[in-house]
Chain A
Amino acid sequence: MSTADVVSPVTTPGEHHAHSGEGHDHGHGHQPHLAHHFESYEQQFDAGKLGIWLFLVTEVLFFSGLFCAYVVFRVLYPELFAFGHLFLNKELGAINTVVLLVSSLTMALAVRAAQLGQRQVLISMLVVTIACAFVFMGIKYVEYTTKFREGLFPARYFAPTPEALLHAAHMIHDAQSHGAAGHAAGHGAHDEHAADASHGHEGKAGDHSHEEVNKNGLTAAEQAMVDSVKVPANAGLFFSIYYCLTGLHGIHIIAGIAAISWILVRSIKGHFTPLYFGPVEYVGLYWHLVDLIWIYLFPLLYLIH
Chain B
Amino acid sequence: MATIVENPSLTGGSPGAEPVVDNYLTFTRGWKSWAFTLDHKRIGVMYLCATLGAFFVGGIMALILRSELFFPGKQFLSPDMYNHMFTLHGAVMTFLFIIPGIPAAQGNFVLPIMLGAKDVAFPRMNLGSFYLWVFGAIYLVAAIIFGGLDTGWTFYTPYSTTTNTSVILATTGVFILGFSSIFTGLNFIVTIHTMRPPGMTWFRMPLFLWATYATAIIQVLATPVLGITLLLLIAERAVGIGIFQPELGGDPVLFQHFFWFYSHPAVYIMILPAMGVISELISTFSRKHIFGYRFVAYSSIAIALLGFLVWGHHMFTSGQSAVSATMFSFLTFSVSIPSAIKVFNWLATMYKGSISFATPMVYALSFIFLFSIGGLTGLFLGALSVDIHLHDTYFVVAHFHYVMMGGTLIAFLGGLTYWWPKMTGRMYDEFSSQMAAIGVFIGFNLTFFPQFVMGARGMPRRYADYLPEYEFYHQLSTIGAFVLGVALVAAVGILVRSLWTGAKAPPNPWGSATLEWQCSSPPPHDNFATTPEVGDPYAVESVKWSDSERGYVKNPSYVPSKDH
Contact = CB atoms under 8 A, between A and B. Distances in A.
Given A62-B228, A65-B225, A156-B242, A36 B118 contact: yes
B232 A6 contact: no
B118 A154 contact: no
A62 B254 CA distance: 16
Contacts of B195: 6, 37, 43, 47
B194 interface: yes
A17 interface: no
A37 B220 contact: no
Interface in B313-366: none
Contact of B241 (A6, A77, A243): A243
Interface stretch (A53-61, A139-147, A166-174, A189-197): A53-61
A69 B193 contact: no
Interface string A69-96: 1001100110010000000000000000
Contact of A34 (B1, B117, B123, B249): B1
A44 interface: yes
A55 B3 contact: no
Contact of B248 (A36, A59, A155): A155
B343 to A, nearest CB: 31
Contact of B235 (A77, A153, A244): A244
Given A47-B190, A62-B224, A155 B240 contact: yes
Please indicate which of the listed interface residues B11, B119, B187, B194 has the most CB atoms of chain A within 10 Å of its own CB: B194
Contacts of B531: 7, 9
Nearest to A3: B198
A4 B196 CA distance: 10
Contacts of B1: 33-35, 44
A50 B229 contact: no
A177 B80 CA distance: 61
A64 interface: yes
Contact of A58 (B118, B220, B251): B220
A97 interface: no
A166 to B, nearest CB: 24
A58 B198 CA distance: 30
Given A36-B12, A237-B243, A65 B228 contact: yes
A296 interface: no
B308 to A, nearest CB: 11
A12 interface: no
Interface string B42-78: 0000000000000000000000000000000000000
Interface residues of B, number: 53
A65 B229 contact: yes
B4 interface: yes
B123 A155 contact: no
B250 interface: yes
Nearest to B118: A37
B221 A237 contact: no
Contacts of A221: none
Contacts, number: 149
Interface string A1-15: 101101101000000
A240 interface: yes
A62 B220 CA distance: 10
A201 to B, nearest CB: 25
Nearest to A77: B249
A33 to B, nearest CB: 6
B240 A62 contact: no
Contacts of B241: 154-156, 237, 240, 243-244
B239 A154 contact: yes
Contacts of B12: 36
B466 interface: no
Given A35-B3, A65-B228, A7 B198 contact: yes
A236 B242 contact: yes
A241 interface: yes
Contacts of B11: 36
A66 interface: yes
Contacts of A33: 1-2
Interface string B182-225: 10001101110111111000000000000000000000111111
Please indicate which of the listed interface residues A33, A44, A157, A240 has the most CB atoms of chain B within 10 Å of its own CB: A240
Contacts of B224: 58-59, 61-62, 64-65
A73 B11 CA distance: 57
B248 A156 contact: yes
B153 interface: no
Contacts of A3: 196, 198
8 contacts: A3-B196, A35-B123, A37-B118, A47-B121, A61-B222, A65-B225, A234-B249, A241-B243
Given A50-B190, A57-B220, A65-B224, 4 more contacts: A37-B117, A37-B121, A156-B242, A237-B250
